[in-house]
Structure 1
Amino acid sequence: MVTRHTLPDNLSNQSLRLDNQLCFALYSTSLAMTKLYKPLLDELGLTYPQYLALLVLWEHDGVTVSELGEQLYLDSGTLTPLLKRLEAAGLLSRLRDTADERCVLIRLTDAGRKLKGRAKRIPGGLLQAAHCDAAEALALTHQVQTLRNRLMA
């Protein structure tokens, strides 16, 4: 439930400044992060959403499309074309679950598993480009996750 808060007039004008908007800070930071990722992911032949899907699979191979969607906060309509491209690139396979044909299981191929080794340098490259150490990045990650969880509650 959203509670309405009124601000005193002197703060009301400040609240409408672009630089005081949390949403804009998150949005513009997301754009900047994606820009930093691009050259690193281009070397692997991946887009950022494909990289995210592979991160999940490198952690838990053999998930269903719906499980992957839950972890990435994406619906199957968004995931299906992404997964088809990864399958066409030979990085994963999609198979109907024999126990429940409504479910599609996603499994990494050998090439998909091998790509993990090449991708291991990406997090360090990002930290270096962001002039950020691992502890600071982890703290920021936890703060943003906490905010996301509050907004989704």
Structure 2
Amino acid sequence: MTEDFQEIVETFEFLDDWEDRYRHVIDMGKTMPPLDETLRVPATKVDGCASQVWIVPHIEGNGPEAVFTFQGESDAMIVRGLIAILSALFNNVTVQQVVDTDAAAAFAQLGLDQHLSAQRSNGLRAMIVRIQSLAQNKLASDS
């Protein structure tokens, strides 16, 4: 687990009320830089999300030690916040770590699994699958 994600876990532990946590997620999304319009194309769009979501990977290096980062964007504020949390979980780690991360367990630490609508939960799973698939594809192409 990255330090950035651990900081989010600690912040969530401090915020007792779910509405405060929800606002914090939205605020995190507001701090994310926008994705360039030219990158919002069908190839980067995440299927399975109710809102518009784009994930653009950047992978430096080769093999399991290649470093994974991504940029993301959504037209929904809460989803932008979820992308910010995913960034804290998956950015600047190796592709092998991306593949090995139990994202569901990580999000359970935040209590998000209990407070997202079924539609948002499905979208979150779709984003996680997309990110881990990108890392897995990089591993497969390098072997």
TM-score class normalised by the smaller sequence: under 0.3
Higher strand share: 2
Return the TM-score normalized by structure 1.
0.25
